[in-house]
Amino acid sequence: MNKDKTKYTNWTDLEWRKLEKTVWKLQKRIFRAKQKGNVKLVKQLQKLLVNSFAAKSLAVRKVTQDNRGRKTAGIDGVKAIPPNRRLQLVEELKISHKAAPLRRIYIPKPGTDEKRPLSIPTIKDRAIQKLVKMALEPEWEAVFEPNSYGFRPGRKCHDAIEAIYTSINKKPKWVLDADISKCFDKINHNYLLGKLEDIPKRIKKQIKAWLKAGYMEGQNLFPSSEGTPQGGVSVLRST
């Protein structure tokens, strides 16, 4: 899977359609293996994906070119990586049991005077998060409820509106609007990790490292005992 990397010397030479097709085929195989209950094959394919040059390249492109937050630095101060550095970052991406602390910033809440905290990972950690998301997302898509829409690929708010309309347009029904207070801030780490029993151990250790990394506010380090970080790739919320 990594044999393609030897022929690329410049970021602009990468054949994105080919790389996307390679990753899509792997994700499709993961999805089908999960549907069939073949846990062993799911793990094998996930390991293959996170070690592939194609997936690593797409992860780096996403966080350094496509994402709106690409110019926001983590605690290392690195942002807006130029093309000649991106291939090097691809080579550096590796699933491990380590994660850098996040940088805490505050952004205004729309319509209020309050500000909400965001915790920003380093660009390298963001790229690894994207890589892990590519591997886990098709597994979970195979078993998610059909009428769930949050953090789902290819689904938008309008899809949820259409589903609600289809369900209630024939006869009167109750519609309940619920919001869990500080949902992401209070998620239990052990419970979340317990939902990931069937994934490769290295990926689980990496996710645990992200959960426990803590954040830096000024020169002070604050450890994390609960909740998931908001400010990086939404891999932890997608599971």
Of 39, 37, 205, 33, nearest in space to 132 by CA: 205
Q: Is the pLDDT of residue 158 over 80?
A: yes
What was the pLDDT predicted at 1? Answer: 47
Q: Under 8 Å CB-to-CB from 53, ≥6 apart: which residues? A: 1, 2, 3, 4, 5, 19, 90
Band (pLDDT 50/70/90 cuts) for residue 153 is: confident
C-alpha count within 13 angstroms, C-beta hemisphere, residue 18: 7
The first and second tokens of residue 233, run together, are 């790739």
Residues 133 and 239: beta-carbon distance below 8 Å: no
Helices (H) and strands (E) in the chain, counts: 9, 4
Residues 214 and 224: beta-carbon distance below 8 Å: yes
Q: Is the pLDDT of residue 220 over 80?
A: yes
| DSSP per-residue string spanning 33-96 | HHHTT-HHHHHHHHHHHHT-HHHHHHHHHIIIIISGGGG---TT---S--HHHHHHHHHH----
Q: Under 8 Å CB-to-CB from 232, ≥6 apart: which residues? A: 102, 119, 120, 121, 125, 126, 129
What was the pLDDT predicted at 147? Answer: 85
Task: Dump pLDDT digits (tens) for 4-34.
Answer: 555 788 999 999 999 999 999 999 999 999 9
Q: Is the pLDDT of residue 185 over 90?
A: no
What was the pLDDT predicted at 98? Answer: 93
Task: Dump pLDDT digits (tens) for 120-143.
Answer: 999 999 999 999 999 999 999 999
What was the pLDDT predicted at 194? Answer: 93
Of 64, 56, 59, 70, nearest in space to 83 by CA: 64
Q: Is the pLDDT of residue 2 over 80?
A: no
Please state, in angstroms and rounded to a whole number, the distance separating the CA atoms of residues 239 and 233: 12
Task: Dump pLDDT digits (tens) for 21-72.
Answer: 999 999 999 999 999 999 999 999 999 999 999 999 999 999 999 887 777 8
What was the pLDDT predicted at 211? Answer: 94
Residues 224 and 208: beta-carbon distance below 8 Å: no
Please state, in angstroms and rounded to a whole number, the distance separating the CA atoms of residues 133 and 137: 6
* Least confident interval from 83-87, 90-94, 142-146, 231-235: 231-235
What was the pLDDT predicted at 176? Answer: 79
Q: Is the pLDDT of residue 168 over 70?
A: yes
What was the pLDDT predicted at 173? Answer: 82
